[in-house]
């Protein structure tokens, strides 16, 4: 679980207009999404043979995004999975490399992991906890680095739409 796939459930549509304004992308209003948009996505992924190791997100069936990682057996297929999702019409699909630590499923392990990776001026942006494997739990996280010139997100984007 070293790569995460991020996407929006809102599918873009194109509208043809004459002249310089031709084929402009328009986002679907999240309120127009079917109430089972996430379940439909998950069924599509399962139907294509993708098993998720972790999943999370915010405002998933709205204006937010869904974030997931494939299990280790299919880890190298993250880019192919992202391409599959784009072909299905999903928007803003990207593959990123979050930071990952493996922890024991015990009291205080998450705090210890984050303490050991702490740096001055670095803030945790997101955390996604996966399923245990060999008594260890993967924790993927992205950070924001504060500096004199503003903020920079840490978590390398390896492919974008």
Residue 161 pLDDT: 36
Find all residues with CB under 8 Å of 88, minimum gap 6, and list them: 44
The topology (CATH level 3) of 4-96 is: Alpha-Beta Plaits (3.30.70)
Residue 159 pLDDT: 38
Tell me the mean pLDDT per 10 residues along the chain, length 161: 80 54 53 82 95 89 87 80 93 90 94 88 88 91 77 48 36
DSSP secondary-structure letter at 133?
Answer: B
Residue 39 pLDDT: 95
Residue 75 pLDDT: 66
Residue 160 pLDDT: 38
Residue 20 pLDDT: 54
Q: Are 123 and 144 in contact (CB under 8 A)?
A: yes
Q: What is the DSSP string of 3-26?
A: -EEEEESSPPEEE--SGGG-SEEE
Q: How many CB atoms lie within 10 A of CB 43?
A: 11
d(C-alpha 161, C-alpha 90), whole Å? 10
Bridge partners, 73 (sequence order): none
Residue 157 pLDDT: 42
3-36 exposure pattern, b = at least 16 Cβ within 10 A, e = fewer? bbbbbbbbeeeeeeeeeeeeeeeeeeebeebeee
Planar angle of CA 92, 2, 141, nearest 5 degrees: 75
For the chain, where do the domains classified as CATH 3.30.70 start and end?
A: 4-96
Find all residues with CB under 8 Å of 100, minimum gap 6, and list them: 1, 2, 138, 139, 140, 141
d(C-alpha 156, C-alpha 18), whole Å? 38
Bridge partners, 22 (sequence order): none
């Amino acid at each position: 679980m070293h790569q995460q796939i991020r996407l929006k459930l809102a599918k873009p549509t194109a509208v043809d207009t004459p002249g310089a304004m031709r084929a402009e992308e328009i986002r679907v209003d999240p309120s127009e999404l079917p109430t089972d948009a996430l379940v439909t996505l998950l069924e599509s992924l399962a139907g294509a043979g993708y098993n998720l190791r972790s999943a999370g997100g915010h405002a998933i069936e709205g204006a937010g995004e869904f974030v997931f990682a494939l299990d280790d057996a299919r880890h190298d297929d993250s880019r192919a999975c992202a391409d599959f999702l784009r072909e299905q019409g999903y928007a803003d699909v990207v593959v990123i490399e979050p930071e990952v630590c493996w922890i024991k499923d015990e009291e205080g392990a998450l705090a210890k992991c984050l303490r050991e990776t702490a740096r001055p001026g670095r803030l945790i942006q997101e955390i996604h906890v996966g399923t245990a494997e060999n008594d260890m739990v993967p924790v993927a996280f992205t950070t924001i680095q504060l500096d004199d010139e503003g903020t920079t997100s840490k978590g390398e984007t390896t492919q974008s739409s």
